[in-house]
Amino acid sequence: EIVLTQSPDFQSVTPKEKVTITCRASQSIGGNLHWYQQKPDQSPKILIRYASQSFSGVPSRFSGSGSGTDFTLTINGLEAEDAATYYCHQSNNLPHTFGQGTKLEIK
């Protein structure tokens, strides 16, 4: 099973700040890494697919990069509505696995 490790687990940030969340895979997964946003009491929503492709309708401040084992989700110009937990997910191998999540708090 591929283990995904996100960092940090929690971050408190101010609006307009740039945020970087990393996801490291226990073995190479090529570009089969996706990012989701989950707000309290809501279903997860896809933000970035295949490491760097933005899903339709996702604000341009969200971007992704990386390949192999190291991946990054960047939020440029954080907004109050971005308070949520962010998860990475690998689809390279079964079982699909998720990172443990990164909770963003807006100051």
Partner 1 sequence: EVQLVDSGGNLVQPGGSLRLSCAASGFTVSSNYMSWVRQAPGKGLEWVSVFYRSGDTYYADSVKGRFIISRDNSKNTVYLHMNSLRAEDTAVYYCARGGGNSDFDYWGQGTLVTVSS
Whichever of 47 and 75 has its CB closer to partner 1, that residue is 47
- Whether omega before 8 lies within 30 degrees of 0, making that bond cis, reads yes
Residue closer to partner 1, measured from CB, 43 or 60: 43
49: left (phi over 0), alpha (psi -120 to 50) or beta: beta
Residue ranges in contact with partner 1 by CB under 8 A: 32, 34, 36, 38, 43-46, 49-50, 55, 87, 89, 91-92, 94-101
Closest distance of CB 76 from partner 1, Å: 22
From the CB of 72, what's the least distance to partner 1, in Å? 17
Cβ distance to partner 1 smaller for residue 4 or 19: 4
Distant-in-sequence, close-in-space partners of 76: CB < 8 Å, separation ≥ 6: 18, 61, 63
CB-side neighbour CA atoms (13 Å) of 36: 16
